[in-house]
Structure 1
Amino acid sequence: MGDVIAFDDFRIDHARGELTRGGLPVAVEPQVLDLIAHLAAHPGVVLTRDDLIDAVWGGRIVSDSAISSRINAARTALGDDGTAQKYIKTIPRRGFRFEADVGARLAPATSALQGKPSIAVLPFENLSGDPEQRYFSDGITDDIITELSRYGELFVISRHSSFACRDSDQSTAEIARYLGVQYIAEGSVRRVGDRIRVTAQLIDPEAGHQLWAERYDRDVTDIFEVQDEITTVIVNTMFGQIAHLHHRRVLGKDPGTVDAYVHVLKATEHALRVAPGDNEIAKSEIAAAIAIDPEFARAHAVRALTLVNEANNFWVADQDASERLAHEAALAAIATDSRDPWAHSMLGIAVLWFKKDHAAALGAMRRGIELNPSNAYFHGLCSYVLAFCGEPREALAEIDTANRMNPLAPAVFLGFRGRALLLKRDLDAAIPILQQMVSEMPGHSNALGYCAAALVHAGRVDDAKAMVAELAAANPHYRLGALRTRLPFKNPEDVDYIVDALQAAGLPET
């Protein structure tokens, strides 16, 4: 279960869910990796479709088209195709044979990818009393593994290794040590009639305690829709818990032992607080990350985020320079890894502010979502861009999606919703949300600015003046002249709606 298989310049470490070529990771879905690993473990042997179904799909009913699709994906990952069949050869009416000479099976790596939090998702237990219902509990597990694997910030053990631990009598601590992971996720599924209950928990095996647990009760109308909904919520919540806990763990590390990933982790945590002091810390951390690994796409993407923060909150005198640098950083991230969703999302925001190209901005945001559709944060960022594009209703729909995906959404999501409601001219709904954001993110200049604008339009000019006085004193660059020229609203009337209100509240021109 823990061997590493080597052939040509490929290495498969399926205990760690990793395929590399020439030492560089190859993007591959967990199930496709399991298929490659199983074929490579039997070089020169014809494996029937039934063999593959038992090994890769756990004996579930699978269509021929689904198997063909996975075989094609496996060939693509290996730089192969159905014509050359260099590695995976189709044997008509019999099955498939792995053609490469496989070298010695090596001992598994002793530690996970440096710096990244690692997790194994164990098969969810079927408590329905009906063995036929195991397809649903296995489906939930498969989906969680697949969706967590989309997060470049995590190291996720492959399905092959996780499912090999089914019904193990080992403790979670022993399984974690065997697989070399820091976290274990497990759960159960119980279906009774038209009701289904899914429980999930995240465990720290080393400490021996539960970090998070939740229960989800649903009516079953469309079983696949329910499966998708529950999976999405579990993945977003679980990822948030892991990121938060891992950040706390690395804070105390000796600076000499911190790698690029840990610097990026720290930078992201500070950048998302959207406050001047935190943003400066984030910039320092990201500079350290890039110095260690100039080819780390996520580092360049988070650098773009820090530069966008300082530009669109007007924390710096030269917003144009920050916007230009943000655009360059986002392009550098994509040049390094064109499949990094953070890179595309940051390019969308950078293009919005630097180029005021609304179509390109939305295109980049949609690409980020396409690369990781279950990540609530990318839906939230898309909502942010939609509001500037004159689509407040679409922005609200997108932030609703984000909040359904992640019930523990970050405070900045309040701003995305509040701005969209303000532009929709729904002041009764916008004001309490913007006030809450001001309370939770006092360093966020735009939180104060948009809240003050909403108060003016609601006739609460004195309250708005007090807020603007606080904003003007704290940020000498947040001025009417800068707002008029830099706010990237597609509709000029939206610019006037914000700027005129802030002028009535006493914001200085320069």
Structure 2
Amino acid sequence: MSKTNTKIWSFGAFSLDEASFELTQSRVPVAIEPQSLRVLIFLLRHRDRVVPKEDLIEAIWQGRAISDWAISGAIKAVRVALGDIDRDNRIIKTIHGCGFRFVADAISTDREGGRGPKATVFVRVFRSTGDNAEADYLADSLTEDLIHSLSRHDALTVLSYNTAKALGAEAPGDIYGVTHVIEGNLRDIKSRIRVSTAILDAKTKNQIWSERFDLTRDSLLAGHDLIADRLLAVIAPDRSLAARKPRGTLNSNAYDAYQKGRYAYFRYEPQAFAQALSQFEKAAELDPDFANAYAQQAYCRTTLYVFGLPGSDETLGPAEALAREAIRRDETAALGYARLGWVLGYLGRPEETIAAFAAAIARDPENPEAYLAYGETMNRLARPQDAGPLLEAVFSKDSFLPPSWEFPQGHCQLLLGEQDVAVGHFQAVLDRVPRFIPARVQMVRAQWELGDIEGARQTISRIKNIAPRYSLAHARRMFPYPVRKEANALTEALSGAGLH
């Protein structure tokens, strides 16, 4: 491996070791999300000046269009970790209209020899090759599984799956301190799946190791574990993987169907939701104890019902039953509780909704998706003041998030009366996921309230092109506000713009 210099920072009772990627206070580790720690490192490195938010965006988010929520959420998380929450902010100052500055006294010492005992790994999304279109989901599944497997070891810092998806072939910025890059490709060849993978030195780009694996669909899980073991043996040869985190099933075929379902669902296309449901049903048939397969069925059935798509149930009763079945099968898994909270929010049962999401977060406090679903459910209950902190937490968990995840921020801002800000969020979603109907529905309301009547009518036209059967009744079902003011405002905008 190439050698680089990293620093150990000391300020007050705090110490930040870039090599071990750890913040301590009086030698006691401080809990802080990786993204927020990178923000702190960047501010320390540039403590001699005010850092504009544009510089943070370039360094942490690599120049991507992100919302102010992401920045404010990360800064807030740093301040909470440092106990810098007084109005005078003794450590990090906000210079209004300019940016942020680290103002506390700090000293640094150089550490020679790279990032010390802790390697930082970036797993690029594996490429699928050949003529089989289904290989795309296999490559995506392998990438996610390797990231989760390697993340279990405290000798490694592994960049998230969302980061891998967002960056694609790009390299992470210097602030990430990546030491190893893992890349590869996957080819689905009739009875076997051939995986070629390599490890690169992140600084020199030289290949350190490569190997080819031949897997079968019946051995996918064992194959993923074998690849993870071999990668760890090269990156941290004196370590072994920690106890494997359960995937919810030991049945490779059930896992394969489950991953097909996830891949279909997150295309966010109307016809894909029914395809996803079919795969989740297949996963549960292959392994009746696969709790997450029931949870995702609940999610799909809720989506089909809310969107009014063909094959939807007449009520949300089946979706609620499936979410509860997921919990019955495995009450330690967070996903069942998160999906139950999602369903109960649509059913207008706020106390049960809050309890379900609280149970999900207690079981998996690092999962940004649970906070996102909780926050958007609070929006749908017309409680944006409760949604805001939950959505801020989403952006403290990860630097890069799926494009549709910006929708709840826009929804929250719209409910708070910030229509201009909301339009920006909705447009950011639609630029990347143009068939995402919830963003178009709320865009109509924002445009209508801003007086852009023609824009609202054009948005309605696009909704009808995406989902010809979509009606005002479906919109009310999608956003079942219990507060009459919000329900009436949405109805007025949609009907005025031509949705009936």
TM-score class normalised by the smaller sequence: 0.5 to 0.7
* Contact 1:312–1:319 (CA under 8 A) maintained in structure 2: no
Letter in 2 for 1:277: Q
1:315 to 309, 322, 341: 309
Q: Which residue of 2 aligns with 1:25?
A: none
SS at match of 2:372: helix
Alpha-carbon deviation of 1:443? 2.5
Deviation string 1:414-436 (CA, Å, 9 cap, x unpaired) is 21111111111111100021122
2:424 to 408, 432, 437: 432
- Structure 2: runs of 5 or more not aligned: 1-25, 29-108, 122-144, 157-174, 185-195, 204-223, 229-250
1: CA distance, partners of 2:364 / 2:306: 25
* Contact 1:313–1:444 (CA under 8 A) maintained in structure 2: no
2: CA distance, partners of 1:413 / 1:302: 18
SS at match of 2:366: coil
2: CA distance, partners of 1:452 / 1:340: 38
Q: Which residue of 1 aligns with 2:111?
A: 128
Q: Which residue of 1 aligns with 2:324?
A: 331
Alpha-carbon deviation of 1:317? 7.8
Q: Which residue of 1 aligns with 2:105?
A: none
2: CA distance, partners of 1:405 / 1:157: 14
1:469 to 448, 461, 464: 461
Alpha-carbon deviation of 1:349? 0.6
2:352 corresponds to 1:352: no
Aligned pair in 2 of structure 1 residues 318, 289: CA closer, same or farther (>3 Å)?
Answer: closer
Q: Which residue of 2 aligns with 1:284?
A: 278
Q: Which residue of 2 aligns with 1:305?
A: 299
* Contact 2:120–2:180 (CA under 8 A) maintained in structure 1: no
Deviation string 1:343-365 (CA, Å, 9 cap, x unpaired) is 11100011112x31012112211
Aligned pair in 2 of structure 1 residues 403, 158: CA closer, same or farther (>3 Å)?
Answer: closer
2:441 to 449, 453, 478: 449
Alpha-carbon deviation of 1:299? 0.7
Letter in 2 for 1:393: Q
Q: Which residue of 2 aligns with 1:491?
A: 483
Alpha-carbon deviation of 1:202? 5.1
2: CA distance, partners of 1:495 / 1:272: 28
Aligned pair in 2 of structure 1 residues 293, 416: CA closer, same or farther (>3 Å)?
Answer: same
Letter in 2 for 1:334: I
Letter in 2 for 1:478: Y
Deviation string 1:36-57 (CA, Å, 9 cap, x unpaired) is xxxxxxxxxxxxxxxxxxxxxx
2: CA distance, partners of 1:157 / 1:455: 43
1: CA distance, partners of 2:354 / 2:482: 12
Q: Which residue of 1 aligns with 2:361?
A: 369
1: CA distance, partners of 2:468 / 2:489: 22
* Contact 2:284–2:290 (CA under 8 A) maintained in structure 1: yes
Alpha-carbon deviation of 1:303? 1.0
2:197 corresponds to 1:207: yes
2: CA distance, partners of 1:465 / 1:367: 41
TM-score, reference length from structure 1:
0.52
* Contact 1:365–1:378 (CA under 8 A) maintained in structure 2: yes
SS at match of 2:182: strand
Q: Which residue of 1 aligns with 2:168?
A: none
2:256 to 257, 262, 271: 262
Q: Which residue of 2 aligns with 1:272?
A: 266
SS at match of 1:208: strand
1: CA distance, partners of 2:27 / 2:333: 31
2:333 corresponds to 1:340: yes
Aligned pair in 2 of structure 1 residues 501, 328: CA closer, same or farther (>3 Å)?
Answer: same
Letter in 2 for 1:270: A
SS at match of 2:197: coil
Equivalent positions of 1:179-258 (< 5 A) are 199=178, 201=180, 203-204=182-183, 207-210=197-200
Deviation string 1:441-492 (CA, Å, 9 cap, x unpaired) is 2322222111111111110011111111221343244322344466322322
SS at match of 1:203: strand
More off after superposition, 445-454 vs 341-350: 445-454
Aligned pair in 2 of structure 1 residues 351, 309: CA closer, same or farther (>3 Å)?
Answer: same
* Contact 2:178–2:202 (CA under 8 A) maintained in structure 1: no
TM-score, reference length from structure 2:
0.53
Alpha-carbon deviation of 1:292? 0.7
Aligned pair in 2 of structure 1 residues 201, 335: CA closer, same or farther (>3 Å)?
Answer: farther
Q: Which residue of 2 aligns with 1:419?
A: 411
1: CA distance, partners of 2:266 / 2:27: 43
Letter in 2 for 1:423: L
Letter in 1 for 2:111: S
Letter in 2 for 1:297: A
Q: Which residue of 1 aligns with 2:71?
A: none
Alpha-carbon deviation of 1:440? 2.1
Letter in 1 for 2:264: H
Deviation string 1:298-348 (CA, Å, 9 cap, x unpaired) is 111111111122122232485543x22211111111011111111111000
1: CA distance, partners of 2:334 / 2:399: 21
2:368 corresponds to 1:385: no
Aligned pair in 2 of structure 1 residues 271, 318: CA closer, same or farther (>3 Å)?
Answer: closer
Letter in 2 for 1:203: I
1: CA distance, partners of 2:152 / 2:424: 45
Aligned pair in 2 of structure 1 residues 325, 202: CA closer, same or farther (>3 Å)?
Answer: farther
Aligned pair in 2 of structure 1 residues 367, 155: CA closer, same or farther (>3 Å)?
Answer: same
2: CA distance, partners of 1:212 / 1:364: 42
More off after superposition, 456-465 vs 307-316: 307-316
Aligned pair in 2 of structure 1 residues 480, 294: CA closer, same or farther (>3 Å)?
Answer: same
Q: Which residue of 1 aligns with 2:290?
A: 296
* Contact 1:274–1:309 (CA under 8 A) maintained in structure 2: no
2: CA distance, partners of 1:212 / 1:301: 39
Aligned pair in 2 of structure 1 residues 380, 480: CA closer, same or farther (>3 Å)?
Answer: same
1: CA distance, partners of 2:415 / 2:149: 40
* Contact 1:271–1:305 (CA under 8 A) maintained in structure 2: no
Equivalent positions of 1:89-100 (< 5 A) are none
Aligned pair in 2 of structure 1 residues 505, 282: CA closer, same or farther (>3 Å)?
Answer: same
SS at match of 1:207: strand
Deviation string 1:17-75 (CA, Å, 9 cap, x unpaired) is xxxxxxxxxxxxxxxxxxxxxxxxxxxxxxxxxxxxxxxxxxxx999xxxxxxxxxxxx
Aligned pair in 2 of structure 1 residues 356, 400: CA closer, same or farther (>3 Å)?
Answer: same
SS at match of 1:209: strand
2: CA distance, partners of 1:212 / 1:139: 11
2: CA distance, partners of 1:281 / 1:428: 36
Aligned pair in 2 of structure 1 residues 267, 485: CA closer, same or farther (>3 Å)?
Answer: closer
